Amino acid sequence: MPRTSLLIRPLLALAALAVVAIVASGCGTTNADTTRGRTLFVENCGTCHTLAQAGTTAQIGPNLDDAFASAREIGQNGDTIEGIVKAQVENPRPVNGDPAVSMPPEIVEGTELDDVAAYVAMYAGVPGAAPPKVPGGPGAQVFASNGCGGCHTLAAAKSGGVTGPNLDEVLPGQTTAMIHEDIADPNADIAKGYPQDVMPQDYEQALTPKELEDLVQYLFEETGGKSAGAKPKG
């Protein structure tokens, strides 16, 4: 059986429970803030899940576009998908039945969960869904579209991710060549306190040469880049 089907199964298995919850309440979350939900998703969920509108490409957990495209095909609407997301966050199911591969329980709670669930229900599996346009030029768009803010703090992007190093702290003093290496070969020189293989290794293939160049220049300029200098890593 294809791996994608195995990953989708735990989500679809929750559909019946979600329907019961939605019927009882009468509807989905009507006051949810999906803009805030996107930010919360990128920071809390994007390090494990792919979702096109969030610009995240992680493959630790299920690809939510694939999973919920299938759910929409069998008739699940936004309210039902919102219920599935809430049920999965509140009671995570192990991937492929392996308890060691499971999402932390209640990674978001309360109104934050409402916002994330409503956001995912609005965009997951929707054809053509893509990250919103952001100010700051093409490099800023590459940063946003690829979910970099889900792992990294960068003041210029108003991101607060903590899975990877704070870019405002580790990039000043680096040359564009150094920043390029950090993206293309992230295991070559790892920031103190971070393990190997946290950052995807394929950005040089996933991004076009122009996108990579724009991203490097954006990071260089927004962190006070200089033409030379030592490379701080801790």
Q: What is the pLDDT of residues 43-67, one digit of tens each?
A: 888 878 899 999 888 888 889 999 9
For position 75, what pLDDT does the model report?
Answer: 87
Confidence (pLDDT) at 96: 58
CA distance 65 to 120: 9
Tokens 């199911």 belong to residue: 93
pLDDT at 46: 83
Check residue 199 and give its pLDDT: 85
CATH class of this structure's domain 3-35+47-123: mainly alpha
- What is residue 116's DSSP assignment? H
Residue 230 has pLDDT above 60, yes or no: no
**In angstroms, rounded to a whole number, what is the distance separating the alpha carbons of residues 125 and 48?**
17
For the question of whether the overall pTM of this predicted structure is more than 0.75, the answer is: no
Q: Which long-range contacts (CB under 8 A, 24 or more apart) does 98-103 make?
A: 103/48, 103/61
Can you give the pLDDT at residue 101?
A: 59
116 CB-contact burial (10 Å; exposed 0-12 / middle 13-18 / buried 19+): buried
Domain ranges of the chain: 3-35+47-123, 138-222
Would you list the DSSP string of 147-158? Answer: TGGGT-EEGGGT
Class of domain 138-222: mainly alpha
Mean pLDDT of the residues in the chain:
82
Confidence band for 11, pLDDT divided at 50, 70 and 90: very low
Can you tell me the mean pLDDT for 179-196?
A: 91
Name which residue leads in pLDDT, 70 or 30: 70
Q: Do the domains at 3-35+47-123 and 138-222 have one common CATH topology? A: yes
Q: Give the three-state DSSP class for 159.
A: strand
